[in-house]
């Protein structure tokens, strides 16, 4: 069943006209390369589910031409696949002082009573660099912390925010440019280093979608 879904997704992506859209073309090429590797080795269901979700996210982006729609489609699956309670997908922007901040295009609405992974907000901004979120921007590297309360990079949480018990932040780099990030929080068992590699296709494809969105605008 999963193999037939992959074949259908590849066929749908092959039908996309990427003329004059170099970043979108690279995103599709990379995703198809990941699928080819899955077919050459015995990939587990989780790897395949991530690639299928990325395929649907790209198709959503192409259909709507809105990065928010693509990330709203993608975030619930990222939470499910990582057993995370909440998180966000964001673009890196800069203020008038050339200071970076995270502009979220999809973030879990943790303030909603009995929220679930499909309760999502858009257009929230994270400016504080003295936090685990900020460490993604300042280090430009993955940020993994399973003891945030004891982590010097953690600046705590705003009033009313859920406590962060475990955190994984991953940068989206396109070439040397930091264009976005994924943040995941509160996997009950904490996060393993292997999650960085697992989510690598998401980081590459999401970064290229952001770059394509900027390129066309």
The CATH number of whichever domain residue 121 belongs to comes to 3.30.450.40
pLDDT digits (tens, 9 = 90+) for 18-55: 999 999 999 999 999 998 888 776 668 899 999 999 99
Residue 1 confidence (pLDDT): 52
Q: What is the mean pLDDT of each run of 10 residues along the chain (217 residues)?
A: 70 88 96 85 83 95 96 97 97 96 95 89 92 96 94 72 90 97 97 98 98 89
pLDDT digits (tens, 9 = 90+) for 69-85: 999 999 999 999 999 99
Name the pTM for this structure: 0.93
CA-nearest of 168, 199, 171, 213 to 65 is 213
The residue with tokens 């390369």 is 33
Number of separate domains in the chain: 1
Residue 66 confidence (pLDDT): 95
Cα 70–Cα 72–Cα 78 angle in degrees, nearest 5? 100
Q: How far apart are CA 216 and CA 212, in angstroms?
A: 6
Domain of residue 182 covers: 2-216
């Amino acid at each position: 069943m999963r193999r037939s879904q992959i074949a259908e997704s590849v066929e749908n992506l092959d039908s996309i006209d990427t003329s004059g859209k170099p970043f979108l073309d690279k995103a599709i090429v990379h995703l198809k390369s990941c699928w080819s590797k899955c077919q050459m080795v015995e990939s587990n269901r989780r790897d395949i589910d991530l690639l299928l979700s990325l395929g649907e996210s790209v198709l959503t982006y192409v259909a709507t031409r809105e990065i928010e729609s693509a990330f709203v489609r993608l975030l619930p699956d990222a939470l499910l696949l990582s057993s995370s309670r909440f998180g966000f997908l964001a673009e890196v922007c800069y203020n008038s002082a050339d200071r970076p901040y995270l502009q979220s295009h999809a973030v879990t609405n943790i303030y909603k009573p009995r929220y679930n992974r499909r309760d999502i907000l858009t257009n929230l901004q994270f400016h504080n660099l003295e936090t685990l979120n900020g460490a993604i921007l300042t280090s430009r590297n993955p940020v993994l912390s399973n003891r945030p309360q004891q982590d010097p990079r953690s600046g705590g949480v705003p009033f009313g925010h859920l406590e962060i018990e475990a955190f994984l932040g991953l940068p989206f780099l396109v070439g040397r440019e930091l264009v976005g990030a994924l943040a995941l929080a509160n996997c009950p068992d904490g996060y393993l280093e292997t999650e960085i590699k697992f989510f690598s296709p998401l980081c590459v494809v999401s970064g290229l979608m952001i770059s394509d969105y900027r390129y066309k605008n």
